[in-house]
Amino acid sequence: MNFGEPGFVLTIIMVCTVAWLANNWIRAKHGYALEDEWGGKTERKDDAEATKLRETNAKLLAMVEKQDKRMAALETIVTDKGYRLNEEIEALRDQTAPDTADSGVPLDIRKQEEA
């Protein structure tokens, strides 16, 4: 292969141009500044839609942070030992049937104290 042939030189130029176009297309797609042919950068102009999206994003982030704080407070309440004990007591109360509530075994504390 002769590196001095015009076909080889044109192939190199074509490959470089296609790579530059692909680079700019990817940068434009993801919102980065574009490069011109001399290595300079061209910043994107903010339009009204992009500004509105940024404002909406900021509001949503604030709402998520607020919900996260509320969720942490609820997790603290639910994992509290007193809350769990209260739930266990209420569950035991719910297990007793209304017709068997008076059929419990009486405690004879005096016999236990004498022993």
Asked whether residue 110 is assigned to any structural domain, the reply reads: no
What residues have CB less than 8 Å from 31, skipping those under 6 apart?
A: 44
- In tens, the pLDDT along 35-81 reads 766 766 766 666 777 788 889 999 999 999 999 999 988 888 777 77
| Domain presence at residue 88 | yes
Percent of the chain at pLDDT exceeding 90:
24
For the entire predicted model, the pTM comes to 0.35
Rounded CA separation 109/104 (Å)? 15
Residues 49 and 29 in one domain: no
Q: Is residue 50 part of a domain?
A: yes
Please name the residues in contact with 77: beta carbons below 8 A apart, sequence gap of 6 or more.
83
Q: Is 35 helix (H, G, I), strand (E, B) or coil?
A: strand
The domain tally of the chain equals 2
CA gap 81, 28 in Å, rounded: 55
pLDDT at position 16: 93
Q: Are residues 69 and 80 in the same domain?
A: yes
| Domain extent at residue 7 | 1-44
Q: Do residue 60 and residue 38 come from a single domain? A: no
* CA-to-CA dists, residue 105 to 87, 100, 101, 102, 108, angstroms: 24, 11, 10, 9, 9
In this predicted structure, the answer to whether residue 12 has a pLDDT above a threshold of 60 is yes
Report if residue 59 sits inside a domain: yes
Average confidence score pLDDT of the chain: 78
Cβ(31)–Cβ(46) below 8 Å = no
